[in-house]
Every structure is written in structure tokens, then in C-alpha cells.
Chains A and B, each alone.
Chain A
Amino acid sequence: MFCAKESCSILPLFVAVPLAGAFLSSLLGKTSSKISDFLGSLVPAILVLLSFSFIGLKEVLVYKMGGWIPPFGIVFVVDGLTVLMLVTVNVVALMSTIFSISYMEKYTDKWKYYTLFLLMLTGMNGAVITGDMFNLFVWLEIGAISSYALVAFGTEGEELEASFKYAVMSSVASLFILVGIGLLYSYTSTLNMADISRTLVAKPNANLINFVFILFLLGFGLKSAIVPFHSWLPDAHPSAPAPISAMLSGVLIKSLGIYALVRIFYNVLGVAGGGRVLLVLGLISMVLGALLAIYQKDLKRLLAYSTISQVGYIVFAFGLGTPLGIFAGLFHLINHAVAKALMFLNAGSVVYATDNVRDLDQLGGLREKMPVTANTSLIGSMSIAGVPPLGGFWSKLVIIFAAVESKHWAGAFVAILVSIVTLAYYLKLQKLVFFGKLPVRWENIKESPVLMCVSMIVLSCICIALGLLLLPQLRSVFLDPAVEVLKNGVGYSKAVFENIK
């Protein structure tokens, strides 16, 4: 644990380290793929250590870039919510890069992959850590643009099409966000989030806030694939290489979509929960995602639809706007990030072994040949489906409690029903891929290499252990500070300005 002043000065490293890793990988990676493998895993490992050093942070840390005082300069702000996101993002990134070392052997130009991966990581870390509206947009674009390239990394027809679709939709989203930021800037004459929030409290303007609210809902809703804006996700996420699918579904849509959405709605605009809009959109995503997932024949596509459904849960919980709802949303966010990353890595492992067969009808009985993949996949599926005692069960339980507590009986009922549907399609996945009779053509397949197994085992252990976060001791250092930040609402600006040294 660092003392406050020292830990403040390491804040820019969250952006600088992955950037340096990306550029070094593009310079040196050409000479040997070992260097880029090493860099690719070293950088997230450093970031995991750095982010863990912030757990249990008591105060808000504000870092002034170049020594310029806000609101004139750009600031980095670290509070409870940021710490939670940083830990989640970097842990999943580390596991994905360890998985990539063996998995990406199938592709050419591995160093380009690592360069793009680290740039995407930079974007996510930057978007989470920044306290400046336009800076947020810049990180958003860095993360998003590198992910377009990563989705198309296989350069086959399907992948290019998915990437193009993703790029177009996501650019439209960025445009909405940019217009929103522009309107806020023209009204408040500042880009610092805390300062915008302060100005909006001092001279409120309901029309402006409503319009900007809609723009951000469209923009960030597209980025986080809430239902009416979800159509790019089922193409983009399955087409990417498996570790990238894990990153996209696990953390990218959460850090660039949900985190930014929640941060701006709660802390900047002060529209906690956003009326009933988030609630309704969350419910629709929940139901539609789950119903569409049942009919999928493609392993990774099924997981992508499941992501939409689970994001629906998270958005629904945030839409409740109560402290318990916020808690449930954040808890489910972490659970889903880990479990879905695990599921996509499992899918990658299957694809690696079967040489790119993702059709559920052609698979089956892989359990005896690939025990590690099968068992970790079972843990991941059951966690998302909500089977006790895995993490996902507890977070869904808290979501239902939160809905009941705020008297949204219908919402609670739908959440329970969808949870059953979720169990159904994950059981279908398990049955068609890992149980049943082994087709003759897969007689000779082998379990994945050691490093891929290691990352899957670690993620499944985290999946099991996440239920422990409900214990009061762990809750008070990790989840509660994040809930406090959102509960505090527009008090965010006060917290930031008090802590500028």
C-alpha cells in the first residue's frame, strides 16, 4: 500500500505503461515473437500489481497532468469506482494475454496483435481513470479503433464484415457522444467532469440535461450493446480471436460503455438511474438477449447473445438507482466480466483443438478429451446462469432483492424468469459441446497447451471466489467505496475539488 502522495504520482503509469508496451512491441516485436509475447504479458502484469495497490483507498486521488490546475488542465481521478474497474479490466487482460501466447500461434504477425491489444488496454484504462470529458472521448476512440482492427485480425470475409459493421455503428455512437460533450461544453465552458457537474448544479438547465442525456444514452448504449443498439455485437464478438472476444465481452463494453454511462449519469449530469429509461432498456435487453441466445447454433455467437442479456441485468440494476441496486449492478459487472471472459477463452480452447469448428451440432463429447476446458467451462456457465455457490448466483440474487426492495415486482419476476432461460441455454451449450457422444472426427484431439489451461483455471478460481465479495470485510474495501461514489451523485465534484493538492 502506498501513502497518498506516492500513489498519486503512479497514476499516469496506467496509461503510459501499456502505451510504451505497444510502441516497443511494434518496434522490437518484428525481430522475434518471444519479445512481443513477453511484453504482452509483462505489461498487464505490472498493471494488475499497480491496480491492486489502490485497493482499500480511503480518499479520492486527483492527479494534475503537467502540473496544470483543473479545470484548465487534464486531471486523472481515482476513487472507489475507478479502482474496481481498473482491477477488473487488468486482471481479465492479463489472463487474455497469457492465453494469447499459445492461441495466437495460429495467426501471422503476432507483434501487431500485441501492439493493438496494448493500445486497446490503454484506451480502457485511460477511459476509466480520466476526470476530463474530452479526454474520456479520446480514450474511448483509442480503445474502440484498436478493437475494430482486432475484430478483423483474421482477415477472412466474415471477420472483415463484422469489423466494418462494428466500426460504422461504433463511429455513429462516438458521434453522438461528441455532440453531447460539445453541447455540455458550450453551456458550461469547461470540460472537466467535476467542474461541469458543479456548473450544472449552480445553473440548472433541464432541457439541456434531457437532450444530452438522450445523446449519451444513444452513444454509450451503442457502445455497451443495450438492446435497441445491440445489432453489431453478435457479429463482432464471435469474429474476433478468442482472447479478444474475452476482452470485448468481458471488459471493453463495460469500461467504455457501462462505466462511462454510469459515471456521467450519476456523477456529472446527476440523473441517477435516468428515470425509467435504463430500467426498461435493461429489461428488454435481458429478455431479448436470452431468447435469441437459445436459438444459436454457433458456440461463440451464443455467448455473444448471452452478453447482451447479462448487460441487461447490469443496466437494470443501475436503473433502479437505489444503493442496493448500484451494489448489485457493480457486483454483477465483475462477475460477468470474469465468467464471460472465461467462457470465451473456453470457446477459444475448443476452436483451437477442433481447428475452427464452432458449430454446436458438429461438436460433442469433448469432456473426456479436454477435461480442463470442460470443467472450467462448466464453472463459467454455472456462474453466469446463477447456480449457487458461484459468484453469479449471489449477484443475481442481490439484483432480485434490489428490485423487490424498490417495489419493481415485474422486474424482479422477469429477472428470475430470464435466469431460468439462461440456465437453459448454458445447459444446451454444455450438452452439445462437452457431454454426449464424441464424434469420430474428434477422436484424436488433444487438450490445449499449458498456458491456455493456466489462464482458464485461474479465471474459474476467481469465478468461484467472487461470491466471497459479499463478506463484510471484503465488501468494505472493494465494493462499498465504489457504491459510495455513485450514491454520492453530484457530490463527486466536491470530492474532486477538495482533494486537489
Chain B
Amino acid sequence: MTLIVKTITRYTVGLILLFGIYIVLHGHLTPGGGFAGGVIVALSFVHLMLAFGRETAIKKMSEKAAGILEGLGAIMFLLIAFMGLTTGYFFYNFFRRVDTTETLVEYIGRPFALFSAGIIPLCNIAICLKVGAGLFAIFVALTFLKMNGDAAGDGEKK
């Protein structure tokens, strides 16, 4: 890519990553969440790949690491769901702190308070890992296919 693209990428890529993380962490307070944030996080790496080429991006995050992060994200999400099972229900919000002064409705979240929604932010982080790593891995796979068009694919007969 041209010098202009490379320079601007250098300045913005960190900001995009940060913005993605912000969207994820504030998912329960503002619009967005694990999926949207995960996509933005993945886009920051994709951006890097588009500007500087495949090798640079792979150095920051190899396809192996993406695969592992994706699996970890999914398992983390499932674990959170399982932990709810210990206190009653699958996916039960077991971190909830019921406000005892309110008798009618059980409030567990407070507006604009970052640490207030129980397991929701944790779920968001897990989803971000899964979606971000997954999307990046798909993009890497696409470039991979283009580079080695006739290389051995998955599950090919031996």
C-alpha cells in the first residue's frame, strides 16, 4: 500500500483496537457489546493486514493464536453458563446483588456503573474473543487460499 495508507494506519490502528475494547467493556451500558466490539477488534488486525501485508499482521497475531483464542472464548462463555447451573439455572446471573431496599423489582444493574451487571460483561468479553479471533481467522484463511491456490486443503484424502 502507499505511504499515505501506511502512515494513517500506524496512527489509527491502536485507536481502533482501543475503541473495540471500550465497546466490549461498556457493552452493558452503551450500544454495542461483545459481537460489535469483537468485530472492531478484528478489524484493527485486518486493517494492519491490508496496509502492511499478511506477514506483519500474522506476526502480531498468528493464525494458531487466533484459533486458540477462539476456542478459549467459546469455552469461557460455556463455563460462565455452567457456573450459573451451580446456583440454579443454566446462564443464571449468579453475580447478581439484589438491592434489598427495592421490594417490587430486583435491580441488579445500576445505570452508568461499569461493575454492576453481574455476568453480562464477562459474557461480552468471551463473545469478543470468539467473534474477534474467529473473524480474523476467516480473513487469514481467505488470504491463505489466494496465495496457495493448489495447496492441500482440510480433510483431503491421504
Which residues of A are at the interface with B, using a C-beta cutoff of 8 A?
9, 11-12, 16, 19-20, 23-24, 26-27, 63-67, 106-109, 112-113, 153-156, 356
Given contacts A23-B75, A26-B70, 19 further A-B contacts (CB under 8 A): A11-B90, A16-B78, A20-B75, A23-B74, A24-B71, A27-B75, A65-B91, A66-B89, A66-B91, A67-B89, A107-B156, A107-B157, A107-B158, A108-B154, A154-B155, A154-B156, A155-B153, A155-B156, A156-B157
Complex interface residues of chain B between 53 and 68 (CB less than 8 A to chain A): 67-68
Q: Is B19 an interface residue (CB 8 A)?
A: no
Which residues of B are at the interface with A, using a C-beta cutoff of 8 A?
67-68, 70-72, 74-75, 78, 81-82, 84-85, 88-93, 152-158
Q: How close is A77's CB to chain B, nearest CB, in angstroms?
A: 14
Assess A26 versus B71: contact at CB under 8 Å? Given A66-B84, A109-B154, A154-B156. Answer: yes
Q: How close is A129's CB to chain B, nearest CB, in angstroms?
A: 12
A/B interface sample: 28 pairs, CB < 8 A: A9-B85, A16-B81, A16-B82, A19-B74, A20-B78, A23-B71, A24-B71, A26-B67, A26-B70, A26-B71, A27-B68, A27-B72, A27-B75, A63-B90, A64-B89, A66-B89, A66-B90, A66-B91, A67-B92, A107-B156, A108-B152, A108-B156, A108-B158, A109-B155, A112-B155, A113-B155, A154-B157, A155-B154
What residues of chain B lie closer than 8 Å to A107, measured between beta carbons? 155-158
Contact of B71 among A27, A63, A112, A154 (CB under 8 A): A27
Complex CA gap A405/B72 in Å reads: 57
Residue of A nearest to B71 (CB): A27
Q: How close is A64's CB to chain B, nearest CB, in angstroms?
A: 6
Contact of A24 among B75, B90, B156 (CB under 8 A): B75
Complex CA gap A107/B68 in Å reads: 23
Complex CA gap A247/B42 in Å reads: 35
Complex CA gap A65/B93 in Å reads: 11
Contact of B78 among A9, A19, A113, A153 (CB under 8 A): A19
Q: How close is A349's CB to chain B, nearest CB, in angstroms?
A: 16
Residue of A nearest to B89 (CB): A67
Residue of A nearest to B119 (CB): A66
Residue of B nearest to A116 (CB): B155
What residues of chain B lie closer than 8 Å to A65, measured between beta carbons? 89-91
What residues of chain A lie closer than 8 Å to B75, measured between beta carbons? 20, 23-24, 27
Q: How close is B77's CB to chain A, nearest CB, in angstroms?
A: 9
Q: How close is A245's CB to chain B, nearest CB, in angstroms?
A: 15
